[in-house]
Structure 1
Amino acid sequence: MPTYDYHCASNGQTIEAKHGMNEELSTWGELCANTGLALGNTPADTPIVRLITGGQIVSSRALKNPDMPACASGGCGGGMCGLH
């Protein structure tokens, strides 16, 4: 299940939540229910925003050749990332 980072501007907290790709949390109460956190002093209906976070890209070539050394960037195998 994918993880997403949500930020609450009201309390300044950024929390990681796991849920399906088609689900999106929109309030502090939904986020707390998803993660098991206590509401604290923040009202349940306080809006939150999902942050854009980077994902990892895995080259299928690297998966087929586990003994292949990674490129100089420490990223993908075989220099496919273009960061070597």
Structure 2
Amino acid sequence: MPTYDYRCEANGQVYEVQHPMALSPKTWGELRAACSLAEDASIPDAAPVTKLLGASGVVSSRALKNPEPPACARGGCAGNCV
């Protein structure tokens, strides 16, 4: 499951949260309910959250020391690639 960083607008803190990609919470209460986060009395449910931009874990073939693209990228899958 992907990890996202959210800033709570009520207290300015940044929190790392795991949730499905389809989730787009607008308030801390929505985020807490969807992710089973621990209750924090200092953050009201109505407090808005801001999703922060983060880098994803993309791995290139060069990082794996494999200069060749995957078989599907070379046309070696006989058209069975999705």
TM-score, normalised to structure 1, is 0.62
Judged with a 3 Å threshold, the aligned counterparts in structure 2 of structure 1 residues 59 and 9 are, in CA distance, closer, same or farther, namely: same
Post-superposition offset of 1:35: 4.8
Structure 2: state its 5+ residue gaps: 67-82
Q: Cα deviation per residue 1:46-67 (whole Å; 9 max; x = unaligned)? A: 10010000112201354474xx
**Sequence identity, in percent?**
46
**Matched residues in 1 for 2:32 and 2:22: separation?**
18
2:48 aligned residue: 47
Larger mean CA deviation between 28-37 and 39-48 belongs to: 28-37
Deviating above 2 A after TM superposition, structure 1's stretches of 4 or more consecutive aligned residues are 30-33, 60-65
Larger mean CA deviation between 17-26 and 55-64 belongs to: 55-64
Of structures 1 and 2, the one with the larger relative CO (CA 8 A, separation 6+) is: 2
TM-score, normalised to structure 2, is 0.64
* Structure with bigger gyration radius: 2
- Structure 1 contact 32–39 (Cα < 8 Å) conserved: no
2:37 aligned residue: 36
The two structures, once aligned, show a CA RMSD in angstroms of 1.9
**Matched residues in 1 for 2:32 and 2:21: separation?**
18
For these two proteins, the number of residue pairs brought into alignment is 65
Larger mean CA deviation between 43-52 and 30-39 belongs to: 30-39
